[in-house]
Structure 1
Amino acid sequence: MRPLPASRGLTRPSLIVLTALGLLTASIAPAAQAQTARKPSPYENQRPLRPDEREARQAENAKHAGPAFLGQITSQAEFQQLARVYNAGTPLEIPHVLFVIDRQRGDRIYYIDTPRYTLHENFARERRLLPGQDKDTLIAQYKDPNRRLLFGTLSWQRDLPGYTYEFWEGDRLTPELLALTGERLRATFYEPLRFKANSTMHEQTAQGAGVEYVTQEALLREQTFLPLNTGRAQGRMRIVASVEDTPDLAPTDIVVLDEVPVALPPVAGLVTQRPSTLLSHVNLLAKGWRIPNAYVRDAVAALREHDGQWVELTVTSNGYQVQRIAKPDVSATPVKTAALPLPKPDLSVKAIKPLTGMSTRDSRHCGVKAANLGALKSALPPLASVPDGFCIPFAQYAAFMAQLHVPERIAALEQRPDFASDATVRRAELAALRQDIVQAKPDPALAAAWHDSWQKQLQGRGVFVRSSSNSEDLPGFSGAGLYTTVPNVTQADALTQAVKTVWASVYNFEAYEARRAAGIGQDGVVMAVLVQQAAASDSSGVMITRDPFDASRRYVTYISAKRGLGIKVVEGKRQAEQIMYSSWSKAVQVLSRSAEDTQLVADAAGGVREVPIEGSRQVLNDALVARLATVGSQIKLRLGNADQDIEWAVQGDKILILQARPYVDGSR
């Protein structure tokens, strides 16, 4: 057949437009659907029409030319006559037609004039196929195996290419109903079709019916664009092979990378040409910085002509645009960053604090990370548990820095014009400062207390030594990935060194630059240290307690997962398994399976090592996904009902919670 027309991006040399692969839905705005391939319930945010509304709809329908439905589609022209198209005029454009099968009337099929009827329900009620106005009758058409009506959608998938048919992800299809649908479509549609499974449940149904199917993951794999954070920025575009080898990155740079880096100083915008998890540290920082951030396939080649040029980058839900601009005169209009106040630390608490017994109020001397975990330790069982640990409070850090005269040293550096103006100078001076901190000897009594708590409370087992500063996990500044974590510390001398390493990470270049860009005063930063028992996790990852693509979907949990320890998930250097779970539909939707062929495991001698992954790449089963989502809901409830970004691990049958911070959504 001749492919359906699809528009092309603008091709002027100074303008590049690329839009996402779109996957149709029946009843929502297309911005979220393009990224998640979800097909929400037609009754999800709808209500039945009132009599006056129905009369108005009928009057409006009378104005439409052509039939309200067809019993068969014999040509492309007939399909287009009935089709609705979201995002017309872009490559996201995908025509789709709603259909209804009436099992009470000899399995009669109706291909609906889709622009005329917003929902299957509206057509069915108008045609008196759906008696009554009650919601239960409607819901039965999605849940009851003996239902009268089947509600589906037929679409043209440009990137297959070909037609697919699908159902809402929560539809409790049986193999018999799916087989019936395929039979009726084949008998009444002019081209071959493939079933598109919108949940793992649908995949299992298709297997039971012996029906070949296309997965959401397969379609999303062809996606050439993903908006990780929408927005607009002006800056100098730089194609960078490695952030680590590019010490002169500036806040005015728009960076194009081969993959998501482990760490990144503040920049004006970010484009990567390999997909990664939405919850990598760098992506979370981009949200906090409110900078445009996108995955674009073959971005280096597509944007090569703009390398070194001043451009405006715009990232929207449907695509991105790069346009040349004149270099802004920044000296004429200096940018003033509004200062971000930090929580004032309480330095009166000097003793080590066990996690058990801590509450959120303890953030005053141990930071939000440690305090949240302490509060959750008693609140989550039996759903989940928090590995035991203890906090070395702010006061011990402050005393050590005072002993080394670090505040005076930083104040002197900030008075130097070269330090203030040259990022290369700042990087070198901060590296020297970190080295001095790590090499200095702490108070022997303090070090002995750390070792004593490690031996008595944690039985000298391997621990993760982590940051818990007053400049991370804040509602407007996550600080994700800015400070150092030392994994699987197993020796006493290594514990002392790890604590100093975490203290020194206050002056990691990326952390200093991020605070500087946010207007955070460097003299207000203090660091507590969380020493927490290591978990030999089978799988681990991160979850958000709402749909990150659509803030209105509060009943959705987004989960990223990989096998082994979770360091690779938050680094985001390879694509994780990505799952969406709806507490409404109970459907599990797979956006991607893990792209990893190795995993990290704890080394008996300390630290971590990489080992090959054997067997299936699938990380989570449906039951575990549902359990994780339930735990996420409880954490959100316990932490003020604000959406959370949660690090988790699974050990055997146990769910472990390693961190919970406010989810910062910097979209604009």
Structure 2
Amino acid sequence: MARALTLLVLLTSACSSKGDQAPAPTVQGPGSGSGSGSAVPEVAPVVVPETAPARRLWSNKLDSQEMFDAYSKELGGERFSKFVIDLKSDAIYYFDVDVYKVHKDFVFQELYKKPKTKEAVRVFDKNYTAQKVDFMLCYIVHHTSQDVWTFAFWDGDLATPEQVTHAYKRMKETFFKGDLVKYRPDSSHQESVAKKLVGVPFILNDALYKAAEYVAFNEGQNVGKLRLVPPNVAETELTFATDEIVVLAAPLADITPVAGIISEQFSTPLSHVSLRAKAWKIPNIGLKGAREKLATFDGKQVWFEAKGGTYTLRAATPQEIAANQAKEQKHVDLPAANLDFGEMLTLDQFTAKDIVKFGAKSANQGEIIAAKLTGFEVPPGFGIPYRYYAEHMAKNGLDEKLVAMLADPAFKSDANVRKKALAGLKAAIMAAPVDKSFFDKVDAALKALPGSDGGVFVRSSGNAEDLDQFNGAGLYDTVPNQRGLDQVLASVKKVWGSTWNFAAFEDRSRAKIDHLKVFSSVLVQIGVPATAAGVLITEHPTDPTDEKNYTINAKSGLGMSVVDGKKVPESLIVSWYNHGIRVLSRSAEPTKLVFDEKGGIREVPNPDAGKPVLTNARALLLADTARKITKVFKNDHLDIEWVFVGEKLFIVQTRPLVR
């Protein structure tokens, strides 16, 4: 599908300069012209004479770049057109995609010339099977980043090797770049067909993605000071200012609020950092060679814009700097925490109203269980309410320490001071003893949880995460595969302490959240020994108008390596509407994470590196399940974490996707 093309829109970048007031030129990706804002020269409109004949809405050939441009459209940086081959007459029709959005509209209007009744559509849809009745329905795409031309079928099309070969022959005879065009399979089925082709060159989406020079993980624009971050500095030693646009050698597993992110090594749009960039509404891109391309801007105030197919970075004007400084950050109000409730309830007892006792993460899981949906399970668990965090802080004098720390002028003004002080507070929370009554209650709840001796996850479920306006993705700690009461209690304190993780504090400050109103609840949940795990968002990754496709990232083993964003996962676009599956990339990691028998996790060789993580059946089950969950929450924009154990699906987290 055309809208599914956009994640592979990956344009190389080039440098150009405008004006005579150096020091710094404008840096852009190709296709964006020679400048931006006031630097862009006005272009006179093309005036078409009234006597000029109307251009047809289709053509039997595209014999020039001008013709291709006239019948094609650029979406996220890929320029694409569509064509239909009549199987009876062998005629080929390239049609105007600005007029006819889908093949079906063109065929019924221009070729069938009859209404789209249910029966007529049912017959037409046979053209997506191996037994096509009337037409072959194809796309032709220019991937401008790699300057590669491809043709493709819709990802759900079951075209045979013979049909692909014939489509290639007719395209090659009628398209001006036909000799350069390669077949691009978009699904596992089509990949198997491609390997059977003779005389038809093909290229996989995975190869296109890895060869890309540029990708936009979040579009947007901002003004800030460009900072080239040295590649040899440990991530734990880094601090950032909120007005910085940072250039990184590799993706970070965690980051505090910044004005923009540029990484030389590509991540994924579903990593925690990418999801935060979306919530912060800042541009976030991958750009190979970024340090060299942008070196002249280091330390300077710049205007940075990221689009699907290109980016622009130039010196900011005084007016832009002033307007950026005048921007007001929206205040986020937190759900009030009930500090009186002390019962440790199981997930199947939770409903949405329990957010004030156990946090949104736990309450959302309870809502899903209560909906009694089929096709998946939610791992059992129990919640430790806010009350016990507040008591732990008060009984150990940590609440007073917190108030004094927040009032310290040096803490307020210096990020390095804040980072050290927050780490000290977290350590104090973890070191402080729990009282006997709390010990006994956790012991009883753990013993009553079936399967807990096989390991549990200890997860944060505070009142400053998983909210409509503040998702808190990756800000707080999750401790996997904890075995026995001692490990669980230590992990509960670690999760409590993670309330004061540096990144969490900085992000809450950005959102103007009152830190004294932040409380931590804990979810203790049966650990699932995943054979595959990942994230699904109920959106197309780059096309906000597409409401029928979901994006899935997956890896073998446990899911922590998916959300840290350091390696490219398997990435799919899956339609809940027509069950089309498009493969964007494969995960080739040589190792995977599994449970350690003594508790925690360990890394082991991955015998399936490079092979599909999700079968078609698993991918469709995920999409169908996610669609059901959107109905439960009456929200079409969700971020869902999932795991498979063999063919059995578990949903382990659902939260609003902050857009």
In the other structure, the counterpart of 1:534 is 527
- Supply the distance in 2 between the matched residues of 1:79 and 1:318 (Cα, whole angstroms): 19
For residue 14 of structure 1, the aligned residue among 21, 25, 30 is 25
Residue 622 of structure 1, CA deviation: 0.7
Separation in structure 1 between the aligned mates of residue 414 and residue 406 of structure 2, nearest angstrom: 11
Q: 1:350 to 1:201 in 2, by over 3 A?
A: same
Match of 1:230 among 219, 232, 255: 219
1:132 aligns with 2:143: no
| 1:407 partnered with 2:399 | yes
Aligned alpha-carbon RMSD (Å): 3.2
* Letter of the 1:372 counterpart: N
CA-to-partner distance for each residue in 1:270-316, whole Å, 9 max, x for gaps?
11111112111111111222222111122222222222222222222
Aligned equivalent of 1:55 = none
**What is the CA deviation profile of residues 189-226 of structure 1, one whole-angstrom value per residue up to 9, with x for unaligned ones?**
57434222233333344446655532233223332222
Name the CA distance, whole Å, in 1 between partners of 2:324 and 2:203.
56
Match of 2:591 in 1: 598
Residue aligning to 1:196: 184
* Corresponding letter in the other structure for 1:11: S
Residue ranges of structure 1 left out of the alignment (5+ in a row): 1-5, 22-58
**SS, match of residue 348 in structure 2:** coil
Describe the shift of the 1:10–1:492 C-alpha distance in structure 2 as closer, same or farther (beyond 3 A): same
Give the secondary structure class of the aligned counterpart of 1:512.
helix
Asked if 1 retains the 8 angstrom alpha-carbon contact of 2:331 and 2:513, the reply is: yes
1:182 match: secondary structure: helix
Tell me how far 1:116 sits from its aligned partner.
8.3
1:476-517 Cα distance to aligned partner (Å, 9 max, x none): 100011111111111322221111111111111111111111
Partner secondary structure for residue 184 of structure 2: strand
Task: Confirm or deny: 8 A CA contact 1:279 1:542 kept in the other structure.
Answer: yes
Q: Which residue of 1 aligns with 2:559?
A: 566
The structure-2 alpha-carbon separation of the partners of 1:452 and 1:175, relative to structure 1 and needing over 3 Å to count, comes to same
Question: Of the candidates 330, 334, 340, which is equivalent to residue 342 of structure 1?
Answer: 334
Length-normalised TM-score, structure 2: 0.85
CA contact (8 A) 2:558 2:593 kept: yes
1:124 to partner: Cα distance: 5.0
1:394 maps to 2:394: no
Instruction: Report the 3-state secondary structure (helix = DSSP H, G, I; strand = E; otherwise coil) of the residue aligned with 1:232.
Output: strand
Specify the alignment match of 2:365 in structure 1: 373
Once the two structures are TM-superposed, the CA of residue 430 in structure 1 deviates from its matched residue by 1.1
Q: Which residue of 2 aligns with 1:292?
A: 283
Conserved in 1, the CA contact under 8 Å of 2:26 and 2:312?
A: yes
- Secondary structure of the 1:356 match is helix
113-122 or 355-364, which deviates more: 113-122
- 2: CA distance between counterparts of 1:252 and 1:507? 22
TM superposition score normalised by structure 1: 0.84
**Map 1:445-594 → 2, pairs under 5 A:** 445-458=437-450, 459-594=452-587
The answer for the alignment partner of 1:304 in structure 2 is: 295
Please say if 1:215 is aligned against 2:204.
Answer: yes
Q: Check whether the contact 2:138–2:153 (CA below 8 A) recurs between aligned residues.
A: yes
What is the CA-CA distance between 1:406 and the residue it aligns to? 2.8
1:119–1:567 CA distance, 2 compared to 1 (3 A): closer
Q: 1:130·1:138 contact (CA, 8 Å) conserved in 2?
A: no
- Please say which of residues 189-198 and 533-542 is displaced more in the overlay: 189-198
2:637 aligned with 1:643: yes
Residues of 2 paired with 1:557 and 1:494: CA distance? 37
The one-letter amino acid of 1:108's match is A
Q: Does the CA contact (< 8 Å) of 1:201 and 1:587 recur in 2? A: no
Q: Deviations over 1:321-377 (max 9, x none)?
A: 111237898899676544311001112211211112211211110000011112223
Question: Hey, what's the Cα distance between the residues in 2 that align with 1:349 and 1:506?
Answer: 20
SS at match of 1:323: strand
Summarize deviations over 1:225-265 as a string: whole Å, max 9, x none. 22222222222211223462544421121111122211111
Could you tell which deviates more after superposition, 239-248 or 648-657?
239-248
Aligned residues: 615
Equivalent position to 2:86, from 93, 102, 105:
102
Deviation at 1:583, TM superposition (A): 2.3
Q: Distance in 2 between matches of 1:370 and 1:263?
A: 23
Q: 1:333 to 1:227 in 2, by over 3 A?
A: closer
1:586–1:333 distance in 2 versus 1, CA, 3 Å? closer
Residue 645 (structure 2) pairs with residue 659 (structure 1): no
Contact 1:287 1:664 in 2 (8 A): yes
Residue 626 of structure 2 corresponds to which residue in structure 1?
A: 632
1:165 Cα offset (Å)? 2.4
Aligned twin of 1:26:
none
Say if 1:101 and 1:150, in contact at 8 Å, map to a contact too: yes
Q: CA separation of 1:361/1:274 partners in 2, compared to 1, >3 Å: closer, same or farther?
A: same
Q: Which residue of the other structure, out of 167, 176, 191, is the alignment partner of 1:181?
A: 167
Is 1:63 the equivalent of 2:53?
yes
Determine the C-alpha separation between the residues in 1 that align with 2:310 and 2:317. 23
